[in-house]
A and B are shown apart, each in its own frame.
Chain A
Amino acid sequence: MQFKQQSIRFLAGCLALSLVACGGGGGDDSAATPEGEGSEGAAETTTDGGVSGDVLVDGSSTVFPISEAMAEEFMKANSGSRVTVGVSGSGGGFKKFCVGETDVSNASRPIKQSEIDICAENGIDFVELPVAFDGLSVVVSTENEWAACLKPEELGKMWEPGAEGAINNWNQVRPDFPDTELSLYGPGTDSGTYDYFTDATTGEEGESRGDYTASEDDNVIVQGVTSDSGGLGFFGFAYYAENKDKLKVVEIENSDGECIAPAEETIADGTYNPLARPIFIYVSTKSLEEKPAVKAFIEFHLAEANEGLISEVGYVPLPKDLSPKATERFNSATPGSIFEGGSSVGVKLSDKL
């Protein structure tokens, strides 16, 4: 009896101790950050930048590095503010955004009609802002000497649903290509990158052959193509930029019939088409009106002075003719989507904004 009671007491003591230790740890840590980013007092009193309050960002993993960079610098400038960024995918982000759970939704594709409807049902108006460009890069092994420039139709021929089990050799893509086995690598079917690529090459968004190596982690695609002399894969420009020495990038024939390789300039000036795509943030109009921190964060996001942050994390800032238009769209709080629920393939932003 006594033994038992003692051991129960002992157990309870252990639990209580670990709780106290944890709570104490948390307190110490927030006290140790002199900027007071974590402490409650700082959230209420305004310091330096003068803006305080919470900004909730969620959505696409493609846009995440940009949000992270912006949030980091924004909080350095406004130590009373707290920006959090989640990653639940473009679609997952809109699910939260359209019921009013987040202030800003990141997306690597325009909002879909079904999502616009849900937003409307819940009375959520939004401002759609392109924030940067990404160039989907098509890569092959460094041993591949034949694929220098490919047409979007040729990519379509490799990737379309009908190619499954049928197109397995490079010489089926173009007769003067050598007799080498073709193997394909790409992002999983849930990703916005996949949606855009299939739309731009096969003409059907989200439709492709099923027998390719799919991975949610683009680094796996890098490894796959590096070690496969007949491999071909695609992913965002940042992954190519980091692996230039391991991979060979394929030039893509654009609408003017020129062969263009993805690079900061060609992505920004629109010559790298159709594989350069805009990426977006969607801002809740209600949050803009009610939360000064959200407004300040978006202004910070769009400011020309912070363009460096976008290129630093591997994306291409909006070109000079577009960024004032995006800012204007934000200042006038223009609601709705310029794509009206459709895709962004073949849409010239400068005409629509």
Chain B
Amino acid sequence: MANLASDPSRSPLGGGSKGRFKSELSKRYRIDSLFSAAAWTAVTLLVLVLALLIGDVLVDGAARLSWDFLTSFPSRKAEEAGLLSALVGTIWVMVIVAVVSFPLGVGAGIYLEEFAEDSWFARAIEININNLAGVPSIIYGLLGLQVFVRWMEPITGGRSILSGALTLALLILPVVIVATRESLRAVPDSLRQAGFALGATRWQVVCNQVLPLALPGILTGTILALSRAIGETAPLITIGALTFISFLPEDLQSPFTVLPIQVFNWISRPQEAFHTNSAAGIIVLLGVLLLMNSSAVLLRNYLQKRH
């Protein structure tokens, strides 16, 4: 025993590293500053690219923004065209996507993380969900076309807002579920054990202890997922979103269009004036996205303060 302790090469803590440790402070600080410089460059590059993109769009489209642009229907005349139908369509779709995907995704995440036994079945579901998060969106479009548009036509009304929103909800569900599970996992186990020790049931522990702590993280994940959904075009075109529509949705079964489709249609037109409309459309889309995200951030901060 004494032998072992005195042998520096065998000691797990002191000896082994003692020989290799060099106190070249200046060199270590240099590496330190090198790394932080690299990290800063990465951030600056990203912000620069983003600023360049936004600046370019603003230069092209800001002048075209007006109340008329927001409240007019599409037209063959670029100067008279607006994106009312696309804007309202996007709002309808996003609200339904949030209403459907949030409870379903969070519910599934809670079940998998807190309630499910560690069985082959649970593991199979887990693997599938992780894979689904990487499936290209057009595949969800094809799935939505068959399931929501064709099979569920009596409920969804075929190529309607509801079909489109359900397809997008499906598309972002894996992301919401994974985010929910990650946030639940970040809550220390000692909290759960303390709850059980006091005689709380599993549901009481989840509802009163774990979920409130995890909620901000869950909301962040959901915001990111919704931001992905708002820019999707391919699955919506597959399920039959329209390009020219000059009336507003009346119910969930109405035909519809969304902002990205309108933007894409304008940018592919030959006339320069439509390209300007397209840039203005991008600004509006960014605006809607910012509005959506900032309200979610406010909500998250509010909840964070309470717990």
Give chain A's interface residues, CB within 8 Å of chain B. 1, 3-4, 6-7, 10-11, 14-15, 18-19, 22, 25-26, 29-30, 32, 37-38, 40, 61, 64-65, 67-69, 71-72, 75, 82-88, 96, 101, 216-219, 236, 238-239, 241-243, 309, 312-314
In the bound assembly, the distance between CA atoms of A38 and B255 in angstroms comes to 12
Query: Are the C-beta atoms of B270 and A219 separated by less than 8 Å?
Result: yes
In the bound assembly, the distance between CA atoms of A1 and B208 in angstroms comes to 5
- Min CB distance B90 to A, Å, is 11
Chain A interface: which of B58-66, B123-131, B132-140, B240-248?
A: B240-248
Query: Are the C-beta atoms of B237 and A88 separated by less than 8 Å?
Result: yes
Query: Are the C-beta atoms of A26 and B299 separated by less than 8 Å?
Result: no
Interface residues of B in 240-267 (CB under 8 A from A): 240-250, 255, 265, 267
Query: Are the C-beta atoms of A37 and B246 separated by less than 8 Å?
Result: yes
Q: Which of chain A's residues has its CB closest to B158's CB?
A: A101
In the bound assembly, the distance between CA atoms of A347 and B95 in angstroms comes to 52
Residue tally, chain B, CB below 8 Å to A: 46
A interface majority secondary structure? helix
The answer to whether residues A30 and B247 also contact, given A65-B269, A96-B240 and a CB cut-off of 8 A, is yes
A219 neighbours in B (Cβ, 8 Å) = 267-268, 270, 275
Query: Out of A1, A25, A84, which one reaches B245, CB within 8 Å?
Result: A84
Indicate the member of A30, A72, A83, A101 with the most B CB atoms within 10 Å.
Answer: A72
Query: Out of B98, B208, B242, B248, which one reaches A85, CB within 8 Å?
Result: B242
Query: Are the C-beta atoms of A19 and B244 separated by less than 8 Å?
Result: no
The answer to whether residues A64 and B247 also contact, given A1-B208, A7-B303, A217-B268 and a CB cut-off of 8 A, is no
Q: Counting CB contacts under 8 A, is B74 at the interface?
A: yes
Further pairs besides A19-B99, A26-B250, A309-B76: 13, Cβ < 8 Å: A4-B208, A7-B306, A18-B98, A22-B91, A29-B84, A64-B243, A68-B74, A75-B246, A85-B243, A101-B159, A216-B268, A218-B270, A314-B271
Query: Are the C-beta atoms of A241 and B270 separated by less than 8 Å?
Result: yes
Q: Which of chain A's residues has its CB closest to B74's CB?
A: A68
Query: Are the C-beta atoms of B271 and A242 separated by less than 8 Å?
Result: yes
Query: Are the C-beta atoms of B272 and A15 separated by less than 8 Å?
Result: no
B116 neighbours in A (Cβ, 8 Å) = none
Query: Are the C-beta atoms of B248 and A38 separated by less than 8 Å?
Result: yes
- Min CB distance B265 to A, Å, is 7
Q: Counting CB contacts under 8 A, is B215 at the interface?
A: yes
Interface residues of B in 157-184 (CB under 8 A from A): 158-159
In the bound assembly, the distance between CA atoms of A243 and B275 in angstroms comes to 13
The answer to whether residues A72 and B267 also contact, given A14-B299, A18-B95, A65-B76 and a CB cut-off of 8 A, is no
Query: Are the C-beta atoms of A85 and B244 separated by less than 8 Å?
Result: yes
- Min CB distance A282 to B, Å, is 18
In the bound assembly, the distance between CA atoms of A19 and B75 in angstroms comes to 29
In the bound assembly, the distance between CA atoms of A148 and B284 in angstroms comes to 45
Q: Counting CB contacts under 8 A, is B211 at the interface?
A: yes
Query: Are the C-beta atoms of A239 and B270 separated by less than 8 Å?
Result: yes
In the bound assembly, the distance between CA atoms of A30 and B207 in angstroms comes to 43
A1 neighbours in B (Cβ, 8 Å) = 208
Query: Are the C-beta atoms of A313 and B76 separated by less than 8 Å?
Result: yes
In the bound assembly, the distance between CA atoms of A18 and B300 in angstroms comes to 16
In the bound assembly, the distance between CA atoms of A218 and B246 in angstroms comes to 26
A32 neighbours in B (Cβ, 8 Å) = 71
A238 neighbours in B (Cβ, 8 Å) = 270
Query: Are the C-beta atoms of B306 and A3 separated by less than 8 Å?
Result: yes
4 nearest CB pairs, A to B: A38-B247, A85-B244, A69-B76, A242-B270
Q: Which of chain B's residues has its CB closest to A40's CB?
A: B250
Q: Which of chain A's residues has its CB closest to B246's CB?
A: A37
In the bound assembly, the distance between CA atoms of A101 and B157 in angstroms comes to 12
Interface residues of B in 93-130 (CB under 8 A from A): 95, 98-99, 102
Query: Are the C-beta atoms of B248 and A26 separated by less than 8 Å?
Result: yes
Interface residues of B in 208-246 (CB under 8 A from A): 208, 211-212, 215, 237, 240-246
- Min CB distance A264 to B, Å, is 15
Q: Which of chain A's residues has its CB closest to B237's CB?
A: A88
In the bound assembly, the distance between CA atoms of A89 and B247 in angstroms comes to 23
B249 neighbours in A (Cβ, 8 Å) = 26
Query: Out of B76, B250, B268, which one reaches A61, CB within 8 Å?
Result: B268
In the bound assembly, the distance between CA atoms of A75 and B98 in angstroms comes to 34
Query: Out of A4, A6, A84, A241, which one reaches B242, CB within 8 Å?
Result: A84
In the bound assembly, the distance between CA atoms of A29 and B299 in angstroms comes to 28
A15 neighbours in B (Cβ, 8 Å) = 98-99, 102
- What string of 1s and 0s marks CB contacts (under 8 Å) between B41-72 and chain A? 00000000000000000000000000000010
A236 neighbours in B (Cβ, 8 Å) = 270
20 example contacts (A-B, Cβ-Cβ < 8 A) are as follows: A3-B212, A4-B207, A6-B306, A7-B303, A7-B306, A22-B91, A22-B92, A22-B95, A25-B91, A32-B71, A37-B246, A38-B248, A68-B74, A72-B76, A85-B244, A85-B245, A87-B237, A88-B237, A216-B268, A242-B271
In the bound assembly, the distance between CA atoms of A184 and B101 in angstroms comes to 46
In the bound assembly, the distance between CA atoms of A1 and B204 in angstroms comes to 9
A242 neighbours in B (Cβ, 8 Å) = 270-272
In the bound assembly, the distance between CA atoms of A223 and B215 in angstroms comes to 48
B240 neighbours in A (Cβ, 8 Å) = 86, 88, 96
In the bound assembly, the distance between CA atoms of A243 and B92 in angstroms comes to 38
Query: Are the C-beta atoms of A37 and B76 separated by less than 8 Å?
Result: no
Q: Which of chain A's residues has its CB closest to B212's CB?
A: A4
Q: Which of chain B's residues has its CB closest to A235's CB?
A: B270
In the bound assembly, the distance between CA atoms of A10 and B91 in angstroms comes to 21
The answer to whether residues A68 and B76 also contact, given A18-B95, A38-B248, A217-B267 and a CB cut-off of 8 A, is yes
In the bound assembly, the distance between CA atoms of A219 and B269 in angstroms comes to 8
- Min CB distance B89 to A, Å, is 10
Indicate the member of A26, A40, A242 with the most B CB atoms within 10 Å.
Answer: A26
In the bound assembly, the distance between CA atoms of A25 and B71 in angstroms comes to 12
In the bound assembly, the distance between CA atoms of A61 and B242 in angstroms comes to 12
The answer to whether residues A86 and B242 also contact, given A61-B268, A65-B76 and a CB cut-off of 8 A, is yes
Q: Which of chain B's residues has its CB closest to A239's CB?
A: B270
In the bound assembly, the distance between CA atoms of A71 and B73 in angstroms comes to 12
